[in-house]
Amino acid sequence: MAYRILYFFDGSEIVLTNAFVKKTWKVPTEEIERALRRRARWQAR
């Protein structure tokens, strides 16, 4: 079983947005949208 973790850098910090079980090579659109929403919330604080 493989996992995928989506993250972004904020200065010197690494912020993990979500992790999920990898079922295909392509990252599901829903997971990308979830990560983008979480990044936007992080940057808004």
- List pLDDT tens digits, range 6-40: 999 999 999 999 999 999 999 999 999 999 999 99
pLDDT at 43: 96
Residue 38 one-letter amino acid: R
pLDDT at 30: 96
Question: Contact at 8 Å (CB) between 34 and 17?
Answer: yes
pTM for this prediction: 0.86
35 C-beta neighbours (distance < 10 Å), count: 19
pLDDT at 15: 97
Provide the pLDDT confidence category of residue 5 given band limits of 50, 70 and 90. very high
pLDDT at 14: 98
